[in-house]
Structure 1
Amino acid sequence: MDTEKRLVVKIGSSTLMSAENAVDSGRITNLVDQVAKLVEDGWQVVIVTSAAIAAGLGALSIEKRPKDMATLQAAASVGQCELSGEYAKAFARHNILTSLVLLTRRDTADRTAYLNARATLDRLLSLGVVPIVNENDTVSVEQIRFGDNDTLAALVACLVGANLLVILSDIDGLYNSNPRANSNAQLISVVNRIDRSIVDACGGAGSVAGSGGMITKVSAARVMMSAGIPMVIAHGCKKDVVLDAALGKSVGTLFCPGEAQHEITSRKLWIALGDAVHGSIVVDEGAKYALIDTGSSLLAVGIIDVEGHFVEGDIVEVRDSQDYVFARGKVNVQSDAISLVCGMSTEEILENSLLAPIAEKPVIHRDDLVVFE
């Protein structure tokens, strides 16, 4: 797969919609013109778009967002047509074909489906098409939703082996505090490491399971940096924002991967973004050190708490004692069994014939673990 000069652009609802709750054709045209210039220069581009529901509500003249799922999904169905039509029309001015790719978590949680999605996107790009990707809100329900298109955009960037992910929103980038509440907040132009201070600047508690807002963008950036893919958060209405980001100019906040990267295979990318989190495992400092600095597997002896209910094969977060998420992985032991050995030494676990098997195998094998540090 040719991964040279591949760009994924995520466009948020605030960038696409006018004050009248209608698709802003002018903004789409402006962004498409920028993408067309990059395509002419040899870039392969995927657009991850939001606003299907908002566009559908506007087209249906529904002023207040409904609460029932049927109306929301009906609006998404109408809105997908509205959006795809606008993109197709704007790109047609440059003789560029578009396609519509609708995904749910169900399409990526399964390994085979994940690989099929990757092959389809790869083929579309090789044919010179600009895929327009969105979550399939028409059929998605809570259990299979990505929850935000920042996560979807990160997944797509991994799928296509992007050189850069650009997330466009209604804010200039990541600030050291909320700029809407603090007039002295400063824009952070470059992030080389996502530590607790960066997560706290988002107003989040360190969980990658948040939905919406800056925390989901930074959570996406954490995976991008582990995958070695730079990511930019910038204001979608800024002049030439996509062009500037692709050309390496300073715009918004750049999340820049360091030189030394943890090995993150396609399987690990799938673990990091392709399935919903089913719970959390809390570990002590010794286990955290072993996972981050020595690349070890997670053993039962280092676990001090378990949250949620999960079974073998589920994806879970790994937290430290300060409730900070620093890894994600696929478990080999169900939560009920783990809870029985929390805080026990290896010797204590081995002395119990029923629990001894847990001590003899990794709770999360290193090959199924993605570390974000």
Structure 2
Amino acid sequence: MEELRDTIASARKIVVKLGTSSLVDGTGALDPAKIDRIVDAIEGRIARGCDVVVVSSGAIAAGMAPLGLKARPRDLATKQAAAAVGQIHLAQVWGASFARYGRTVGQVLLTQSDAGSRERARNAQRTIDRLRQMGAVPIVNENDTVATSEMRFGDNDRLSAIVATLVGADALVLLSDVDALYDINPADPRAVRISDVRTGSDLEAVQAGDGGAFGTGGMAAKVSAARLAARGGVPVLLTAADKIEEALGAAQVGTVFHTRPERSLSAWKFWALYAADAEGVLRLDAGAVDAVTRGGTSLLAVGITGIEGEFHAGDIVEILGPDSAAIGRGEVAYGAAELAGMLGRRSDELPEHQRRAVVHADYLSNYASRL
């Protein structure tokens, strides 16, 4: 565990995620003093030669007071209106705080659709990288003004995990209002602190809760995001925002989530599984499911029992078993119209131009080997 904490403490590129509760006061308004303290710690880390990308929640909360809202809105249109007002205010507060150090910030607003498109995801990556190269701090947030309920990251914890893998971060620091992961509500005197998570078995007894009054994440979302980032090869430190100095210092606080190099996904496979938009579905028989989940095996037409959607060659498709259980995802080599006539046929029964794999092993990722 100490070795991983040392690795996080010396990481050269990190993503720092701040939840809404870490940025607002008791009324839900942005608290400049809290943000100044966060920026002070981030600048301290930058001074040690580290590149920092910030994933910041708080846009909806920041827009509530100017619009006269007393409680977090529930309907999509009001959330988007609050975000439209709040994004401006949030960026101004971040900018003013970093300006104390003569540093510029750049706002990067993303939607699930942006991450789901390979070209747009690469554009976002290039923008973030260029901001860092120019000495600016990227401030990333979900673009709540245009995201629909069906096309959302769900919370900025998940967004931070995707951004961390997208930019090739060496570590992800998740900050909220809880100092570590506990097996039950930390307010309960029987709660046991969990200092490190190596596999899913370390979480079997954990009961994680939902978000608070001003946020959407909660501990359950943070654990899910931490496991997601670790699956992509990015170690995670989870702790409270009021311990940010220690978190960005020696990292001897909170809970760390270990990566498992033998199970870490390549950047492409991580994107295909967890960010890409799936354009269709392939349904497999039991034999094909067994072959795919063992890993290293390409998917052939003989094991496919059905298809759904109007996908084209090169699209990402969802792969389901005979019981509709999600098996994985992959890049399909044929369009739906052509593939429809190939289903269930052995390669030697197909014409020469259709004998290549439907999904090559290099472009197929399954859910079986989760952290």
What does residue range 18-57 of structure 1 map to in structure 2 within 5 Å? 18-57=25-64
Count of residues in correspondence between the two structures = 346
The residue number in structure 2 matching 1:221 is 226
Give the alignment partner of residue 370 of structure 1, picking from 359, 365, 371. 365
Q: One-letter code of the match for 2:258? A: C
The residue number in structure 2 matching 1:191 is 197
Distance 1:221 1:315, change over 3 A: farther
Distance 1:242 1:87, change over 3 A: farther
The question of 1:158 aligning with 2:165 is answered yes
Distance 1:283 1:184, change over 3 A: farther
Structure 1 CA distance, aligned partners of 2:150 and 2:81?
Answer: 19
CA distances 1:246-293 after superposition (whole Å, capped 9, x unpaired): x4x33222111134344513x223213323568988989976765455
Distance 1:362 1:222, change over 3 A: farther
The residue number in structure 2 matching 1:250 is 252
The residue number in structure 1 matching 2:76 is 69
8 Å Cα contact 1:311-1:333 kept in structure 2 = no
Measured after TM superposition, the shift of residue 220 of structure 1 is 2.6
What does residue range 1-373 of structure 1 map to in structure 2 within 5 Å? 5-176=12-183, 178-179=184-185, 183-195=189-201, 198=203, 201=206, 212-238=217-243, 240-244=245-249, 247=250, 249-265=251-267, 267-276=268-277, 290-291=291-292, 293-298=294-299, 312=311, 313-316=315-318, 327-330=328-331, 349-350=344-345, 364-371=359-366, 373=369
Structure 1 CA distance, aligned partners of 2:281 and 2:254?
Answer: 32
8 Å Cα contact 2:233-2:265 kept in structure 1 = no
Q: One-letter code of the match for 2:63? A: G
Structure 2 CA distance, aligned partners of 1:240 and 1:278?
Answer: 44
Partner of 2:273, secondary structure, is: helix
Structure 1 CA distance, aligned partners of 2:173 and 2:327?
Answer: 23
Partner of 2:14, secondary structure, is: strand
Measured after TM superposition, the shift of residue 106 of structure 1 is 2.2
Measured after TM superposition, the shift of residue 83 of structure 1 is 1.1
Structure 2 CA distance, aligned partners of 1:175 and 1:218?
Answer: 11
Structure 2 CA distance, aligned partners of 1:91 and 1:370?
Answer: 40
8 Å Cα contact 2:162-2:229 kept in structure 1 = no
8 Å Cα contact 1:101-1:131 kept in structure 2 = yes
Partner of 2:146, secondary structure, is: coil
Using structure 1 for the length normalisation, give the TM-score: 0.77
Structure 1 CA distance, aligned partners of 2:129 and 2:151?
Answer: 24
Measured after TM superposition, the shift of residue 238 of structure 1 is 2.4
The residue number in structure 1 matching 2:5 is none
Structure 1 CA distance, aligned partners of 2:191 and 2:289?
Answer: 32
Using structure 2 for the length normalisation, give the TM-score: 0.77
Measured after TM superposition, the shift of residue 165 of structure 1 is 0.6
Partner of 1:145, secondary structure, is: coil
CA distances 1:155-189 after superposition (whole Å, capped 9, x unpaired): 2112221111111122233333x325854232221
Distance 1:106 1:40, change over 3 A: same
Gaps of 5+ in 1: 205-210, 339-345
